[in-house]
Structure 1
Amino acid sequence: MLCSHRLLLAGYIVTFLMGVPANIVAFCTFCCKVRRRAAPIDILLLNLTVSDLIFLAFLPVKMKEAADGMAWLLPYALCPFSGFLFYVTIYNSTLLLTAVSVERYLGVAYPLRYAVCRRPRYAVVASVLFWVVTSLNLSIVYIMPYAQWSRGKDNDSASASPPPTCYLNFTKAELDIVLPFRLELFLVLFCVPFLICCFCYVNFILILSRLPNIGRRRRLRAIGLALGTLVVFATCFVPYNASHVVGFARRESEDWRNVALLSSTFNACLDPVIFYFSSAAVRSMLNHCIRNVAAKMHILRCGGGAAETDR
């Protein structure tokens, strides 16, 4: 168990250090693009960036929990709130990545018809709908910790102390509620989006491979991006969602769920890679930042060398 806590802490730290600067660059880029000329995919990617940034903002809470051996030593009111936003942003990312796959598929499958119907407001409506759907589905993550605390108060009125863990240990009655809920998450918020992504990207690749008027380099880059996005989707979200099915079948909350959650955590620092290859604006912004940093380092080195010469 100690090794799993250390693994969680290390994974959270790596994700935080890599994800925060990359997502801030992406956020600034998409904000500028949306302000100048909003395209549906820019709005979807901006919402995906916001989702990742909210996730990363609450990741230090999970770091503290892992550092304390999964005991909850923070104010208990932070437990349901941080857990709710933590899981909402994970599942919101699956829906937004699915919407991006649909947008790309429609763009190559029905280019003329989709160009006529393509409106940024549809992406805005879809993004709002995704936030509402995930928030409603994950509401139990907010409610259950308070229910556990209330149960402790009922059993021992003299002791009003909150539970020692956050959304980890459940009674049989609580599992009867939590396990079907997790299976519903697996079916509705993972299986359906994943199947849609597979359909869109497989057909996207087949259509691109048959188009004669696209250069080989551009075609291979688009196909590589589609395959990479699909691999990231599967790698990040399959392990944790598989724990829902295993837990439902065995009628228990699996101990390895938190380790499986690490793969979903890494999605916050893998999404910027998708942004980099799917958006020329992000590539331009990142290259600009790198050039500025390199120029400043060069000035510092030259200044240091000049100082040594003066001595």
Structure 2
Amino acid sequence: MKKMAIMSLFLFLLIIPLAACGQQKEEEVKKIRLAEVTRSIFYAPQYVALAKGFFKEEGLDIELTTTWGGDKTMTTLLSGGADIALVGSETSIYVYSQGTNDPVINFAQLTQTDGTFLVSRHKIDNFSWDQLKGSTFLGQRKGGMPQMVGEFVLKKHGIDPHKDLNLIQNVDFANIANAFASGTGDFVQLFEPTASIFEREGKGYIVASFGTESGHVPYTTYMAKQSFIHKNKDAVEKFTRAIYKAQQWVESHSAAEVAKVIHPYFKDTDLSIIEKVVDRYKSQGTYATNPILDEKEWNNLQNIMDEAGELPKHIDHKTLVDNSFAEKAMAK
């Protein structure tokens, strides 16, 4: 009995430090509330980071919320409803221009081109941009990045969107595809996977890429309030490192492999469509291969905004961009 009592005491003493160790490890896990502007294959590396456990490897527990719209996403971030937001960089410029003591800082880039495509109602074998003149063009919401890029590209090809087209841009984002499918417009600017689905169903035909035409821009980036970054530098660095791992994984794997990994986040979309979309985005360099947001991209973004008459004022790259976390992530 005495021997059994000693053994029991030994096991009890052994369990205490193991339990404490487990509790310590649990406490080390940092919860990050992440708000994404929409759910899109456009953000494939993010879902790879989640599915492959790259955030968990860094000791981060990601609570992902889809906030459906740039304004709503930024409101969620500014009000403290999220720690980090995935949204267009132009939103950080709008916030800063309104005056703030706690600016929103871009610290990691996810996509580096526009994600929309020009879709024609009829098949065109030899497309040229001047074929849009005199047509009815169903564009995106005024002031949004897709519309600004759309106008920038049209002007680049000598088309005045407000004089040479019957431009429709008062249709709500969620209803643009349905409006086109119902017969509105000769051309429409669409995101994937809708563009590819329309092509498969014979409702429209992709004739050009706005992303290819507009060049590299910080289209969607991870950002957080300056105060959050200062208080959570270690977590921001870990978050950025997980994203970089995912960017490298997407770059080094086939569209089919990427599609299979992210499919759980798009259960209502056919796997073959996801693969096609990923392949299209990969081939045109939409997915950034590292989290760096360089000055050239930043200035191109502001040129596009200025061309559309939506730039409140020019903001220096160093004011709203912090590449230090991306540089550290890449160094390791």
TM-score bin, normalised by smaller chain:
under 0.3
Question: Per residue, is there more helix in 1 or in 2?
Answer: 1
TM-score, scaled relative to structure 2 = 0.23
TM-score, scaled relative to structure 1 = 0.24
Question: Per residue, is there more strand in 1 or in 2?
Answer: 2
